[in-house]
Structure 1
Amino acid sequence: MTLIIAGTVRVPPQNLETFRPHMLAMLSASRAEDGCLEYSYAEDVAEPGLIRVFEAWRDQACLDAHFQTPHMATWRSHWLQFGVSDRRLFAYETATERAL
């Protein structure tokens, strides 16, 4: 089973450039974790400041370990400073995948 995390967060558009190094640090550290299959952020083309989140984890245990990492604590500590809000993430359990 693969665990997919998908959703959005908001960052005021004027804060995106100064927040970008923190996003890159989080991506790099998360992608290096055991069980991380995919970890991505993308700004919505039609809605500046809306960040689309997509993650894939080998299983729940790997995601649970991710939540306990020092880089996750550092990541969350920056949210207030940069105005991160409206976090809407959902977990999906998948049994199979196929190319389209």
Structure 2
Amino acid sequence: MILVTGLIRTDPETFPALLARLKSLCEPSRAEDGCLFYHMGVDDEASCAIMAMEGWRDRAALDAHLALPAIAGLLAEFGGRYTVDVSIHSVEASEKFML
């Protein structure tokens, strides 16, 4: 399983539009082959921070997701239309256990 976490910060003027755009991707992304979970939410409204949490079956599923026009287009807009500071990380998890 591939886990993806992200912290996305923008300015107050573009925050509502960016949050809506990110949330609009959740349902279609969850329907993709290999998507285990896909969530976007407000981490800290005062600092215009959005938290992303995704889980993918494998790297091939994540790569297919990233290649979709809606996702590639959004990523291309970071730093352009949306003034953002983005920190996105992925890690491969080989075992799953309950805490």
- TM-score where L is the length of structure 1: 0.81
Describe the shift of the 1:31–1:4 C-alpha distance in structure 2 as closer, same or farther (beyond 3 A): same
Aligned to 1:56: 55
Aligned to 2:15: 16
**Unmatched tracts of structure 1, length 5 or more:** none
SS at the partner of 1:13?
Answer: coil
Paired-residue identity, %: 29
User: 2:81 corresponds to which letter in structure 1?
Assistant: Q
- Residue-by-residue CA offset, 1:37-80 (whole Å, 9 max, x unaligned): 11112222375211111110000000111111122133235432
Aligned residue pairs: how many? 98
Aligned to 1:86: 85
Aligned to 1:43: 42
Describe the shift of the 1:73–1:46 C-alpha distance in structure 2 as closer, same or farther (beyond 3 A): closer
4+ aligned runs moved over 3 Å, structure 1 = none
Task: Tell me how large the CA RMSD over aligned residues is.
Answer: 1.9
- TM-score where L is the length of structure 2: 0.82
